[in-house]
Chain A
Amino acid sequence: QSALTQPPSASGSPGQSVTISCTGTSSDVGDYNYVSWYQHHPGKAPKLMLYEVSKRPSGVPDRFSGSKSGNTASLTVSGLQAEDEADYYCISYAGSNTFVFGTGTKVTAL
């Protein structure tokens, strides 16, 4: 189980859109629609932002959206706000109750 590949960093001006990719394999991202995304502020617990590729938990703004094509999932933050600055991680189900985590992306609002 190798980690899912994410870009180390992504940035955008407030109001712009930022998209983060999460690349796995045909054994995880490509095989299951159980990709979730997490926002992680240092010192706090990670927060679930998307599940099943593109579904938002209650309370998560609709500025956060997700998609998947083949072995790559993506998270898009539209209308970037200062409070969106954080580390973002993807996690994919890999079968038999196992999971693979992404390498993490630091999002900065310029």
Chain B
Amino acid sequence: QLQLQESGPGLVRPSETLSLTCTVSGDSISSSSYYWGWIRQPPGKGLEWIGSIHYSGTTYYNASLKSRVTILVDTSKNQFFLKLSSVTAADTAVYYCAMYSSSTSRYLFAFDVWGQGTMVSVSS
């Protein structure tokens, strides 16, 4: 059964770079039809798609965050990563990693596997 687990610092200083890791278990991150994404939820607000990556390294970003976001993948470790630079208090949120597929063998273009989320606070 495919599972995702986020990890990383719970506190980041303003202007620094937020770095999170999502570890994939139960399946290979290198499946050609799987895409791996990051989603966040600021306190009291709704969910926001940050971006996604394919195991090939192709990335897709939310236009509103694109200038500050980098998503990377390490197929040897079955992990993918989020880096968000120049953070401010507005980046305080629960960060989720999630997976969607482009294959009809799963739920097409729907995030059907999620991590439990990790809270990241931006504060000095």
Cβ contact within 8 Å between A101 and B47: yes
Interface residues in chain A, defined as those with a beta carbon under 8 Å from any beta carbon in chain B: 1, 3, 32, 34, 36, 38, 40, 44-48, 51-52, 55, 57, 89, 91, 93, 96-104
A57 to chain B, nearest CB (A): 6
Q: How many A-B contacts if CB must be within 8 Å?
A: 71
Within 8 A of A (CB), among B69-94: none
Within 8 A of A (CB), among B28-63: 35, 37, 39, 46-49, 52, 54, 60, 62-63
CA distance A72 to B81 in the complex (A): 34
Cβ contact within 8 Å between A96 and B115: no
A72 to chain B, nearest CB (A): 18
B115 to chain A, nearest CB (A): 7
Q: Give every chain A residue within 8 A of B2 (Cβ-Cβ).
A: none
Q: Give every chain A residue within 8 A of B108 (Cβ-Cβ).
A: 34, 51-52
